[in-house]
Structure 1
Amino acid sequence: MRALVVYESMYGNTHAVATDIAAGLRATHAVTLVPVTRATREMVMTADLIVVGGPTHLHGMSTVASRRTAAETARKRGSGLTLDPDADGPGLRSWLEQLRVADALAASFDTRLSGVPVFTGRASRGIARVLIRKGCRLLLPPESFLVSKKNTLLPGEAARACSWGALIGETARAAFAASQRS
């Protein structure tokens, strides 16, 4: 089975989580890991499983304005932030709006500040809603991976992302096997 992991990352945390998810998926799938800026229609159409994630901005998916603000913040002298190499360009929201899929299995994730979701928001829920609307079948509930106020992944999140990737892979494999028996 082929899996496509698509991510948007401004400061590198979502990129790191996506990399760990891809590592977990590799036990059951041939994996392509790609930033949203390079995710093509052909990649989507040839994937059996699509895993999509991005950072939480303003309680949900990023916008053009929130991405611009994040980039400006990182470029300020003394910010201590480094822009992800693929941070420039269109974000996940615009990519998802143009997404065309044919009955793919899917999962969504986000990175967000540690805290109660009602206060921090969760981009993964919005991502999941769009994936379902576009015809994907969500395998697992949307997942969040937590970052600190200093913008670093919390301890244990990398390992949890790898485990979650393995769980997605096993769940997808079981779903695919069940569909073949039907």
Structure 2
Amino acid sequence: MRTLVVYESMFGNTAAVAAAIAAALEPAGPVRLELADARPAVGDAELVVVGSPTHGFALPSRLSRRAAQAQGADASAAARSGIREWLAALEPTDDAAGRPPFAAAFDVRQAPGSAGAPSHRVRRRLDRLGFRVVGEPASFHVGPTAGPLRDGELDRASAWAEALHGLVR
């Protein structure tokens, strides 16, 4: 199975979750791990996993990226476009066999029970584009805004990825 894991990360937490997901999916086949600032190109991926941090209970925007930079986020990350723009430019696509790829979404946000889960919005967009959406969106949690990830979240990300693989094989 060829997989694309595309993500946006300001403080490194979403990048860490994306890397854990990619590592868990690697035994099933090649995995491309890409930042969302690239032009959307699903290519021959059979599974597309999209991950985003949560800013103001939603997907990051140019304004929220600047605010994150003021809180210590990497300046180059704040200057890039992200998942919101990547999704806006994404077009429906088919895999090498002429079927739309499978897709799933995750987000990183503050503690469980906090409001906002942009992965649900990402999931709806992927569905509208004709992707074969699988599994429930997942939320992985950080302590304060900049993190770090809470204990066990990378293990949860790996388990979620393995469950996704079970749904698409």
- What is the distance in 1 between the residues matched to 2:139 and 2:2? 23
Shift in Å, 1:170: 2.1
Q: TM-score, normalised by structure 1?
A: 0.83
Number of residue pairs matched by the alignment: 162
Root-mean-square deviation over aligned CA pairs: 1.6
Shift in Å, 1:165: 1.3
- What is the distance in 1 between the residues matched to 2:39 and 2:32? 10
Partner of 1:97: 88
Shift in Å, 1:72: 2.1
**Residue 111 in 1 paired to residue 112 in 2?**
no
Query: Do the aligned partners of residues 115 and 170 (structure 1) sit closer, same or farther apart at CA in structure 2, a change above 3 Å counting?
Result: closer
Query: Do the aligned partners of residues 34 and 171 (structure 1) sit closer, same or farther apart at CA in structure 2, a change above 3 Å counting?
Result: same
Shift in Å, 1:101: 2.7
Partner of 2:164: 168
- What is the distance in 2 between the residues matched to 1:127 and 1:134? 11
- What is the distance in 1 between the residues matched to 2:75 and 2:45? 25
- What is the distance in 2 between the residues matched to 1:169 and 1:29? 11
Spell out, residue by residue over 1:27-86, the C-alpha distance to the aligned partner (whole angstroms, 9 max, x if none).
212100111113542xx0311110001001111111111111111221xxxxxxx52864
CA contact (8 A) 2:110 2:143 kept: yes
Q: Which consecutive residues of structure 1, in runs of 5 or more, have no partner in the other structure? A: 75-81, 174-182
Q: Which consecutive residues of structure 2, in runs of 5 or more, have no partner in the other structure? A: 94-99
Give the stretch that moved more between structures: 7-16 or 59-68. Answer: 59-68
Q: Report % sequence identity.
A: 39
**Residue 128 in 1 paired to residue 123 in 2?**
yes
Q: TM-score, normalised by structure 2?
A: 0.89
SS of residue paired to 1:27 = helix
Query: Do the aligned partners of residues 66 and 85 (structure 1) sit closer, same or farther apart at CA in structure 2, a change above 3 Å counting?
Result: closer
Letter in 1 for 2:67: T
